[in-house]
Amino acid sequence: MPTPYKPFLVDWNGAQRVLCIPESNLSAEIRMTDFPPLPDPWLAIQTALENPLDAAPMADSLRPGNKVVLMTGDRFTDEMLGTRGGLGHKLLDYLNRLGVPDGDVTLVYAPGSHPTPQWQQRLGASLMGRVRCIVHDCFDEASLTYLGVTSQWTPVWINREVVEADYRIGIGEISPNLQGGWCGGGKIILPGVAGWDTIEQNHYGVVKEINPLGLTDGNHMRRDMEEAAGMAHLEMKVDVLVDSRARVVDAYAGHFVAEHRRAIRERGRAIWMTKMDAADIYVLYPGEGFERHLSSAFFIRMEGAELGVKEDGVI
């Protein structure tokens, strides 16, 4: 009798492929909980910005002549603002209506210590042609400003453009992170626009033990990141949650701790957290687009996979 197989359709490198696994060997199938994608992601972001958590609305804070820094990481949000979603133009239009012209906005690509070979491709010529864009380089000491030390003795060196701005806006995405607990929140500052000495101490000196996936409160590394974000005066943080096809399903804005914890509590855990017994073989599909980025967000998926496989198992 033929062995029954279960087929899985996966998007891979721009095409759809079929992966077949013998049903007798399949112990569990784990998927993200896909909430319906928002029909108008910008409307959700604008609503969040106008009703921020534990922060003043930008309309009450921005003044004519203010220099604004807009920071995006190297995950989904760069493409969301640029080539994939074009929401960067909507955000700039919104700032224009608040009295901030494009000439007073600098877009800072905030990759931490990650390489950035595709940043221009991901932001796109249209967005880059509208405002001044720079890429943070954590190793360029001349571009950093020293702000002091955290309570865990991390020296806080931050990109000078960010420090000298009158108002700072961070755009991020919520998903689990093994050591930092979750992406999003204050991570746009540390590691996003921090110097290497700051990142190194935060990632290696502060960590007392391996943190469980998704740990926030009681996480020394997360607390250190948030102290640094406070020292850098991150006024407004926007975080989105996305489905398995990188479509926005919700948006939060406000103080970088308040909006981050609300997003995790209301949506993040439901989307991402699933328990299973450790398996001999763990077949990982990182999600649409991740297979082309063998660092950063892809690495986080690998960290999660390690929790689902036996010590002598295979991913």
How would you write the chain as a 3-class SS string? CCCCEEEEEEEECCEEEEEEEEHHHCCCCCCCCCCCCCCCHHHHHHHHHHCCECCCCHHHHCCCCCCEEEEECCCHHHHHHCCCCCHHHHHHHHHHHCCCCHHHEEEEECCCCCCCCCHHHHHCHHHHCCCEEEECCCCCHHHEEEEEECCCCCEEEEEHHHHHCCEEEEEEECCEECCCEECCHHHHCCCCCECHHHHHHHHHHCCCCCCCCCCCCCCHHHHHHHHHHHHCCCCEEEEEEECCCCCEEEEEEECCCHHHHHHHHHHHHHHHCCCCCCEEECCCCCCCCHHHCCCCHHHHHHHHHHCCEEEEEEC
Determine, yes or no, domain membership for 18. no
229 compared with 302, residue with greater pLDDT: 229
pLDDT tens-digit readout, 77-92 = 999 999 888 999 999 9
Q: Which domain holds residue 132?
A: 37-274
- The CA distance from 24 to 231, in Å, is 55
User: Taking the model in full, what pTM does it have?
Assistant: 0.86
- The CA distance from 308 to 310, in Å, is 7
Lowest mean pLDDT among 113-122, 158-167, 234-243: 113-122
pLDDT tens-digit readout, 284-308 = 776 655 555 445 556 666 766 776 7
Determine, yes or no, domain membership for 17. no
pLDDT tens-digit readout, 17-42 = 888 888 888 777 777 678 899 999 99
Average pLDDT, the chain: 88
- The CA distance from 138 to 15, in Å, is 36
Residue 177: give its domain's CATH number: 3.40.50.11440
Query: What's the average model confidence in pLDDT over 165-169?
Result: 99
Tokens (6 digits) for 81: 């603002």
Lowest mean pLDDT among 81-90, 250-259, 275-284: 275-284
Determine, yes or no, domain membership for 282. no
Determine, yes or no, domain membership for 164. yes
In this predicted structure, what is the pLDDT of residue 294? 46
Asked if residues 174 and 184 have their Cβ atoms less than 8 Å apart, the reply is: yes
Asked if residues 53 and 255 have their Cβ atoms less than 8 Å apart, the reply is: yes
In this predicted structure, what is the pLDDT of residue 123? 95
Determine, yes or no, domain membership for 255. yes
Is the peptide bond between 115 and the residue preceding it cis, with omega within 30 degrees of 0? no
Determine, yes or no, domain membership for 22. no
Asked if residues 131 and 91 have their Cβ atoms less than 8 Å apart, the reply is: no
Tokens 């991570």 label which residue? 187
Lowest mean pLDDT among 99-108, 111-120, 134-143: 111-120
Query: What's the average model confidence in pLDDT over 113-122?
Result: 90
**Residue 114, amino acid:** H
- Cβ atoms < 10 Å from Cβ of 284: 17
Query: What's the average model confidence in pLDDT over 178-189?
Result: 90
Determine, yes or no, domain membership for 56. yes
pLDDT score of 49 more than 50: yes
Burial class (CB in 10 A: 0-12, 13-18, 19+), 15: exposed
Query: What's the average model confidence in pLDDT over 162-182?
Result: 91
Binning pLDDT at 50, 70 and 90, where does residue 240 land? very high
Q: Which of 85, 164, 187, 175 is nearest to 126 (CA)?
A: 85
Total structural domains in the chain? Answer: 1
Determine, yes or no, domain membership for 283. no
